[in-house]
């Protein structure tokens, strides 16, 4: 029963995630409308058979905008979490392996970054770096770096004294080679789980920053920009904000379910270690 439930989570999560990816990648071929083309005859039409999610105040098709905005948001989250993960894991694994002052200093720095609310940290970075697409990626990366660094360091520490690592050491393999060839493949599944959950939070972070006007700047569509747009004329056309958010929620649901299922598959004991 539990096993069936688990695989159902995996199936639904994977299905929704693949659907999201398909929609975002194949967006231009799915909808006949351009995300930027204005149509002043069809301004603020509610959802119908032609415009599945309605149109916005410029007569632009909301579905086309959500799909192309989703591509921008997913790109930001993917790059941000990717950069944060690569740098964080490299730093965390090195810290665990070398120990000493480097480890103490890195963990202290992580604790410090971790003590700022991640959205506040991202907001702060946007002011320091300036608004815009590239800088959100850096802000997301910085918010995730301490999470991955700490996770990788803890996981590496648990494996460092395992027999297979000792064996590699006795065979005279160097530290970098052991970390990459012996330890990384073993901790990779757990890191992947963290990344899939991180991807969802990266999307929320982009949406939040752009929603406030501090992230991606119009006319480039991103999920946050479309949501902010929908807020402007919420009372006249509530479907823009409502539908866009609904699509975002379904996409995030897919990622979260996928993360859950993968987490159960890898190691249930690590459930506590990997917060969102």
Partner 1 sequence: MAASRRAAVLLLTVLAGAMVVFFAMKAAPGDPALSALGENARPELVAAFRRLHNLDLPVGEQFATWISGALRGDFGRSLTLAGGVPVGQLIAGRLPVTAFIGLYALILAGVISMIVGTVAALSRGTALDTLMTSFAVLGVSMPDFWLGYVLVFFLALNLPIFPSYGFVSPSDSLPGALLSGFLPALAIAAPMAAVFSRVLRAALLEVMHRPYVQVQRSLGLSSSFVFLHTIFRNALIPYVTIIGLQVRYLLGGVVVIERVFGIPGIGSLMVDGAFGRDYPVIQACALTFLVIVLGTNLLVDLLCARLDPKARGR
Contact residues: partner 1, CB under 8 A: 1, 5, 108, 111-112, 114-120, 123-124, 126-130, 200, 204, 207-208, 211-214, 227, 231, 234, 238, 241-242, 244-245, 248-250, 252-253, 255-257, 260, 271-272, 275-276
Classify residue 51 as left (phi > 0), alpha (psi -120 to 50) or beta: beta
Q: Can you read off the two tokens belonging to residue 25?
A: 């990648």
Separation between Cα atoms, residue 52 and residue 66, nearest integer Å: 11
Q: Based on CB atoms, which residue is closest to partner 1, 131 or 188? A: 131
Q: Rounded to the nearest whole angstrom, what is the least distance from the CB of residue 118 to partner 1 in the complex?
A: 6
Min CB(257)–partner 1 separation in Å: 6
* 186 sits in which H/E element: helix 184-211
C-beta of 110 vs 184, nearer to partner 1 = 110
C-beta of 26 vs 127, nearer to partner 1: 127
- CA 225/CA 207 separation, integer angstroms: 7
**For partner 1, which is the closer residue by CB, 38 or 105?**
105
Q: How far apart are CA 151 and CA 157, in angstroms?
A: 10
The distance of closest approach from Cβ of residue 235 to partner 1 in the complex, given in angstroms and rounded to an integer, is 9
CB of 47 to partner 1, least distance (A): 15
Question: In angstroms, what is the minimal distance from the CB of 274 to partner 1?
Answer: 11
- Using the minimum distance from each CB to partner 1, give the nearer residue, 24 or 204: 204
* Assigned token pair, 112: 């410090």
Please state, in angstroms and rounded to a whole number, the distance separating the CA atoms of residues 45 and 240: 10
Q: Which residues contact 64 (CB under 8 A, 6 or more apart)?
A: 27, 28, 31, 33, 34, 35
The nearest distance, CB 114 to partner 1, in angstroms, is 8
Half-sphere CA count of 27, side-chain side, radius 13 A = 19
153 vs 263 by CB, closer to partner 1 = 263
Query: What is the distance between the alpha carbons of residues 42 and 106, in angstroms, rounded to a whole number?
Result: 56
Burial of 192 (0-12, 13-18, 19+ CB in 10 A): middle
């Amino acid at each position: 029963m539990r096993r069936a439930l688990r695989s159902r989570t995996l199936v639904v999560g994977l299905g929704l995630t693949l659907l999201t990816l398909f929609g975002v990648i194949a967006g231009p071929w799915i909808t006949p409308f351009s995300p930027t083309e204005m149509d002043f005859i069809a301004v603020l039409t509610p959802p119908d058979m032609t415009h599945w999610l309605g149109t916005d105040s410029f007569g632009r098709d909301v579905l086309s905008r959500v799909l192309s905005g989703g591509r921008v948001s997913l790109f930001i989250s993917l790059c941000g979490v990717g950069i944060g993960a690569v740098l964080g894991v490299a730093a965390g694994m090195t810290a665990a392996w070398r120990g000493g002052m480097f480890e103490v200093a890195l963990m202290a720095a992580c604790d410090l970054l971790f003590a700022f609310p991640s959205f506040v940290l991202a907001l702060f970075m946007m002011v320091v770096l300036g608004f815009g697409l590239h800088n959100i990626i850096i802000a997301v990366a910085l918010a995730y770096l301490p999470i991955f660094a700490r996770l990788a360091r803890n996981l590496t520490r648990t494996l460092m004294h395992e027999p297979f690592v000792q064996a590699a050491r006795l065979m005279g393999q160097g530290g970098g080679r052991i970390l990459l060839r012996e330890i990384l493949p073993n901790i990779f599944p757990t890191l992947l789980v963290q990344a899939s959950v991180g991807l969802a939070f990266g999307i929320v972070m982009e949406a939040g920053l752009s929603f406030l006007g501090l992230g991606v700047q119009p006319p480039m569509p991103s999920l946050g920009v479309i949501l902010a747009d929908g807020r402007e004329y919420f009372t006249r056309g509530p479907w823009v904000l409502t539908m866009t958010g609904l699509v975002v929620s379904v996409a995030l649901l897919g990622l979260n379910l996928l993360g859950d299922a993968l987490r159960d598959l890898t190691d249930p004991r690590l459930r506590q270690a990997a917060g969102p």
